[in-house]
Amino acid sequence: MRGFGMHTINDVGWIEKSRPVCGPLDAIIRPTIVAPCSSDTHMSHGGSGPKTNLILGHEAVGIVDEIGSAVNKFQVGDYVAVPCVTPDWLERGVQNFNSFSHDTGGFGSFKFLGVKDGVMAEFFHVNQADANLAVIPEGVSPEAALMSVDMMSTGFHGAELAEIKAGDTVVVVGIGPVGLMAIAGAALFGAGRIIAVGTRPKAMEVAAAYGASEFVSYKEGSILEQIMARTDGKGPHKVIVAGGDMETFAQAVLMTRPNGIISNVNYFDVADKVSFPAYYWSLGMGDKDIRGSFCPGGAERIARLLDMIKYGRIDPTKMISHQFKGFDKLPEAFELMDKKAPDLIKPIVYM
């Protein structure tokens, strides 16, 4: 079969492979729509070290094409959303207080990106199908379902991690797709005022639709000073970090009130250093909780997000800025994501 991925670092293109093999608990999916993600392009540039001949992609919806002999809940032909994080539920790690993202240790539940071939192919493999596939319910479009498997789950998780209380003032740093879903999540989980940090007009428009109360731009001076000025010197209760650099992260720590939370869902680079003066963190005693988390895994998570779409709490398709028709357009969509055009939020490719 044909897939799209990296031949080696900085060299992407078509890859010919044999169709993946379906174990007794597993399923093989034929994707109908996929979405390239910035972590795919990041990997193609060597972000996780040298990988060769690897099909990329971890966001897909599709049709069940084959099921293992021990799969009970799905049939060939079912139209499913595939969580980007698919834990091995027989690993001890998942029993450890909702650590569904780290089955065997850090990121262990993330099978697609690098561990095995991804979803940008004619077919792809899903482990433990009964626990890791979610049927797309009536009333939810495949496009909306596609947005749930990573962007919505990760962005919402940024808001969940921030343990938003009724009326919290929340800052969201970054208005890429994860930041947008963090804004929507903050609004959906009880925030009062939401201050978004970002400058791109198209994304700002969508951010406002998802609940951002106002915007702050680094082009107009220090983010920190602007936010402190807007909050009478008190700062926000919570900051969700979905973009920015390490200086922004340090400022997020400083601006947060005592008993606040800095919730990170930004993927740092292996060369980055987390660094801030101790007094930014109230000398270690200010009850400012610094958290960083990974997209939760498993089917139940996605089923719940699909229900939120179905019952009208959120329309994640507002993020879809570019649509490509046909498998052959994958390289073009991938390049668009890699270049990050100003009007880009999220591209999708109909297979």
Residues 118-137 binding its own copies (CB under 8 A) are: 128, 130-131
39 versus 226: smaller Cβ distance to its own copies: 39
DSSP 8-state assignment for residue 90: T
Number of residues binding to its own copies, judged by CB under 8 A? 91
Smallest distance from its own copies to CB 271, Å: 8
76 versus 279: smaller Cβ distance to its own copies: 279
DSSP 8-state assignment for residue 151: I
CA distance 162 to 215: 20
Q: Does residue 51 bind its own copies (CB under 8 A)?
A: no
Smallest distance from its own copies to CB 137, Å: 10
Assess contact for 3 and 15: CB atoms under 8 A: yes
Say if residue 192 is exposed, middle or buried (CB neighbours under 10 Å; 0-12, 13-18, 19+): middle
Say if residue 296 is exposed, middle or buried (CB neighbours under 10 Å; 0-12, 13-18, 19+): buried
Smallest distance from its own copies to CB 202, Å: 22
CA distance 349 to 308: 24
Q: Does residue 254 sit in helix, strand or coil?
A: helix
Q: What are phi and psi of 129, to 5 degrees?
A: -55, -40
Smallest distance from its own copies to CB 340, Å: 20
Q: Does residue 124 sit in helix, strand or coil?
A: strand
Q: Which residue has tokens 């007794």? A: 24
Binding mask 174-193 for its own copies (x = CB under 8 A): -----------x-xxxxxxx
- Interface with its own copies in residues 271-310 (CB under 8 A): 271-294, 298-301, 303-308, 310
From the list 277, 208, 274, the residue with the least C-alpha distance to 241 is 274
Contacts of 246 (CB under 8 A, 6+ apart): 268, 272, 273, 274, 275
Smallest distance from its own copies to CB 280, Å: 8
Smallest distance from its own copies to CB 308, Å: 5
Binding mask 158-177 for its own copies (x = CB under 8 A): --x----xxxxx--------
CA distance 274 to 252: 12
Smallest distance from its own copies to CB 318, Å: 18
Assess contact for 267 and 292: CB atoms under 8 A: no
99 versus 226: smaller Cβ distance to its own copies: 99
Taking CB under 8 A as the criterion, the residue among 41, 44, 86, 99 binding its own copies is 99
118 versus 243: smaller Cβ distance to its own copies: 243
CA distance 156 to 249: 19
Binding mask 3-42 for its own copies (x = CB under 8 A): ---------------------xx-----------------
63 versus 290: smaller Cβ distance to its own copies: 290
Smallest distance from its own copies to CB 244, Å: 11
Taking CB under 8 A as the criterion, the residue among 259, 326, 328, 340 binding its own copies is 259
46 versus 105: smaller Cβ distance to its own copies: 105
For 139: left if phi > 0, alpha if psi spans -120 to 50, otherwise beta; the answer is left
Smallest distance from its own copies to CB 60, Å: 20
Tokens read off for 196: 């978004």
CA distance 260 to 283: 15
Taking CB under 8 A as the criterion, the residue among 5, 27, 65, 102 binding its own copies is 102
- Interface with its own copies in residues 323-342 (CB under 8 A): none
- Interface with its own copies in residues 194-253 (CB under 8 A): 194, 211, 213, 234, 241
Q: Which residue has tokens 């179905």? A: 310
